[in-house]
Amino acid sequence: MYQYTDFDRQFVTLRAQQFRDQLERWQRGELTDEQMLPLRLQNGWYIQRYAPMARIAVPYGEISSLQLRTLGHIAREYDRPTSELLAHAQATQDELEAAQPGATLAAAPLKYGYGHFTTRTNVQFNWIPITRAADVMDLLASVSMHGIQTSGNDIRNITCDALEGIAEDGIVDCRPFAEITRQWSSLHPEFSYLPRKFKIAFNGAKEDRAAIGWYDIGLQALKNDAGEVGFTVKVGGGMGRTPIIGSVVREFLPWAELLNYIEAIVRVYNGYGRRDNKWKARIKILVKSEGQAFITAVEKEYRDIVELDGAPHRITQAELDRVTSHFVVPELKPANLPSKVDPQGQLYQRWLAQNVRGHRLPGMKTVTLSFKRLGFAPGDADADTLDALAQLAEQFSASEARLTHEQNLLLPWVFESDLPALYEAARKLGLAQPNIGLLTDMIACPGGDFCSLANARSLHIAEAVTERYQDLDELFDLGPIDLHMSGCINSCGHHHSGHIGILGVDKDGKEWYQITLGGADGSQLSGPAIGGKVVGPSFTAAEVPGVIEAILDTYRALRQPGELFIDALRRIGHDPFKQAANAARHAKAEEAVH
Amino acid sequence: MNIIAADAVPASVEAENTLQIANDADLAEIAASGALEGVARVELQFPKFTDGRAYSQALLLRRRYKFAGDIRATGDVLIDQLVHMHRSGFSSAVLAPGVDASAAQRQFERFSAFYQGDVLEPRPLFAREAA
């Protein structure tokens, strides 16, 4: 993973000091709430339903054992509501449940003391009091972590494929390019008050595992016939109320031009993106409404940057080499720990099949620890688990781990010979469910349990579906399925790109859920990125598990031998799945809520 | 950077040779028309402090159109955006009414350097360190 320079360390420390200064001025009344809002957002601090939420950046998902321990410490010591606040929050959630008799699902009590892994490789805490925010930022800075631009109308935390630099199908390791771009975008004087948030993703492998079609800028690395490295540039993808897939504006951008070209895109967006309507302010709306005129404007701006401004941010070979040298391959040693695992056991074999992947280095594997387990929200890790992960990474993966887009944690440097012992250790921690890529490996946002934007809760649905599909034979029979769930149209749970998508909507203060089918993130399994289509009127929470089951039963009835869910859906068309879904409505639940 | 309290600027007096440019104006057209010639001060507008269009305008005025006079930020100008403004090419700023300037100076002293190039230092950190 990236090794910080002295400058990088000092920069993060000074940023924490700046945030403390801003927070104190706000507390003294020198800054209004409105004036403080973008300042705290640009450091990752939201005010949510009951408490502040801190969003901590984990660039490219790479995290060290030391950093995991610090997150564990924050979870244990800081992610704590007062008993009054917790009682109030729980009572409010209970009222929400009681107001929807027969139409909702039983929800687990609110939890505290944990970190939550997000789809954009951030870690979120839900209960840190704002009065302790500056202390938490200092603590994070002490291990080279921060919340810089994890929110706000700026260039957000940059993401990559979780297998960057270790994938078997890797073309180019994008992490140095992403880091150069991250540095360029950090505290950018011109681009800190854009019309709306701006997200950039890189993918350096043949398979798109970073969902780059769904990003404001998606960059696919490739090599041309001469072996030179460049990027296919997509612009204007995004989820939200208007799901759009990014358009290719450059087939091959030479790598040295990356910052100059991004600067051109963002400058055109800053000048012409809509600021009168929050829902139309993303660059996707500009690209969609202007089409070729947008591309022409970007190309003209890019030429001006090069010809008139002297291309000050052209990346030099020396800089690429310098940053590349900071992504060191750690010293690799096998753990050689004893294990009692039966190598032929079915569970172990299933774990090997689902959770273990190839590595570019011979004799090495990548292992995904599953954070999709009964009794826990997708992507949640409590303090003890964070500490245990730190130790696991030390023992088995050169003290490094990676957060994944699917809200799991991947160990990037595992010796094949260590797999049985690692399996045993992961199993003791409850992190060895062999469900990676399967139905229960779902993506879900925190939803209406915590988020003030949410229209509906998502976690009780995640729990109900997880509970329903505990039988591994059944789960394996259903095969790979992307189930994505968002508690509102902001789409943090990426429902648009799920083979099955669930979207929480609000009608008259009650929670309803739209189900979509056929979305794709752009992976090999899913095919080119596309948004799913709604199956019909929305459902109550109580109906959703049965609707999912009806859709999957239809698949099992209609599939050809070996045919995957997404392939069957595309071959057959949505109609029989829609009919099954709509037939799973509870007539009585409809009456009860109306 | 010249930081001016709101009540220190007489509202009725328009400075001579000052050109006010709206934040949706096309700078290339203005520059091509010769409208910048003889101008001592350009005033750029922040209708709200979250509307960042004038940052791009200031940067382009300096870097691309070589404007050497005063570039002044007006409108909803607050303390925590002053460093961004200065780096983008603003040389003076009139604070919004009621904004206390006492916290301004330490914002300029906090960071000794930044990653990306700007109007004050066109080279990014990597180019400076390599030099």
Q: Which amino acid is at A578?
A: K
Answer whether B122 sits within 8 Å of A312, measured CB to CB: yes
How many alpha carbons lie under 13 Å from residue A286 in its C-beta half-sphere?
29
| Cα separation, A280 vs A282, whole angstroms | 6
pLDDT at B131: 78
| Cα separation, A169 vs A254, whole angstroms | 21
Answer whether A190 sits within 8 Å of B113, measured CB to CB: no
Mean pLDDT throughout A506-535?
96
Chain B partners within 8 Å of A10 (Cβ): 112
Which tokens go with B82?
């002053």
Identify which of A11, A193, A259 has the shortest CB distance to residue B55. Answer: A193
pLDDT at B12: 53
Identify which of B24, B49, B88 has the shortest CB distance to residue A189. Answer: B88
Q: Where are the domains of chain A?
A: 6-141, 174-324, 346-428, 443-593
Tell me whether domains A174-324 and A443-593 share a fold: yes
Answer whether B117 sits within 8 Å of A194, measured CB to CB: no
pLDDT at B11: 59
pLDDT band for position A49 (cuts 50, 70, 90): very high
Chain A partners within 8 Å of B30 (Cβ): none
| Cα separation, B83 vs B114, whole angstroms | 11
For A346-428, CATH number? 3.30.70.3340
A121 vs chain B: nearest CA distance in angstroms?
Answer: 23
Instruction: Residue count of chain B, please give it.
Output: 131
Answer whether A189 sits within 8 Å of B100, measured CB to CB: no
Q: A275-308 pLDDT, tens per residue?
A: 999 889 999 999 999 999 999 999 999 999 999 9
Q: B92-125 pLDDT, tens per residue?
A: 999 999 998 899 999 999 999 999 999 999 999 9
Mean pLDDT throughout A209-235?
98
A111 vs chain B: nearest CA distance in angstroms?
Answer: 35
Q: What is the dihedral of CA A320, A323, A326, A329, to 10 degrees?
A: -40
Q: Left (φ > 0), alpha (ψ -120 to 50) or beta: where does A211 sit? A: left
Mean pLDDT throughout A254-268?
98
Report whether A199 contacts A216 (CB < 8 A): yes
By mean pLDDT, which of A584-588, A590-594, B61-65 is the weakest? A590-594
What interface predicted TM-score (ipTM) does this complex get? 0.97
Chain A residue with minimum CA distance to B85: A189
Selecting from 1.10.3470, 3.30.1460, 3.40.50, 1.25.40, what CATH number does the domain B2-130 have? 3.40.50
Task: Estimate to the nearest angstrom the gap between the alpha carbon of A576 and the chain centroid.
Answer: 32
**A59-82 burial code (b ≥16 CB/10 A, e <16):** bbbbbbbebbbbbbbbbbebbbbe
Residues 6+ apart with CB under 8 A from A338: A421
Mean pLDDT throughout A114-141?
97
- Residues 36-75 on B with a CB inside 8 Å of A are 49-53, 55-56, 59, 63-64
Chain A residue with minimum CA distance to B62: A309
pLDDT at A588: 56
Mean pLDDT throughout A393-413?
98
Answer whether A190 sits within 8 Å of B88, measured CB to CB: yes
Selecting from 3.10.129.10, 3.40.50.620, 3.30.413.10, 3.40.718.10, what CATH number does the domain A443-593 have? 3.30.413.10
How many CB pairs below 8 Å do chains A and B form together? Answer: 103
Q: Does B88 touch chain A (CB under 8 A)?
A: yes
| Cα separation, A146 vs A329, whole angstroms | 23
Q: Share the mean pLDDT of chain A.
A: 96
Residues 6+ apart with CB under 8 A from A498: A443, A482, A483, A484, A485, A516, A519, A532
Chain B partners within 8 Å of A183 (Cβ): 115-116, 125
Which tokens go with A32?
């209004």
| Cα separation, A199 vs B107, whole angstroms | 27
Q: Is A254 exposed, middle or buried (0-12, 13-18, 19+ CB in 10 A)?
A: middle
Which tokens go with A318?
């020396």
pLDDT value at A316 more than 50: yes
Q: B21-44 pLDDT, tens per residue?
A: 999 999 999 999 999 999 999 999
CA distances from A119 to A283, A390, A432, A565 (A): 21, 21, 20, 23
pLDDT at A368: 98
Identify which of B64, B80, B126 has the shortest CB distance to residue A22. Answer: B80
| A136 phi, psi to nearest 5 deg | -65, -40
Chain A residue with minimum CA distance to B118: A189
For A174-324, CATH number? 3.30.413.10
Question: From edge to edge, which strands make up the β-sheet containing A229-235?
Answer: A159-160, A200-203, A217-223, A229-235, A247-254
Q: Is A477 exposed, middle or buried (0-12, 13-18, 19+ CB in 10 A)?
A: exposed
* Terminal Cα distance for chain B, rounded: 27
Answer whether A189 sits within 8 Å of B84, measured CB to CB: yes
CA angle, A10 then A394 then A370, to 5°:
100
Rg over CA atoms, chain A: 23
B-interface mutation test, from A19, A23, A35, most B Cβ less than 10 A away: A35
CA distances from A311 to A121, A252, A549, B67, B127 (A): 31, 18, 56, 19, 12
pLDDT at B14: 64
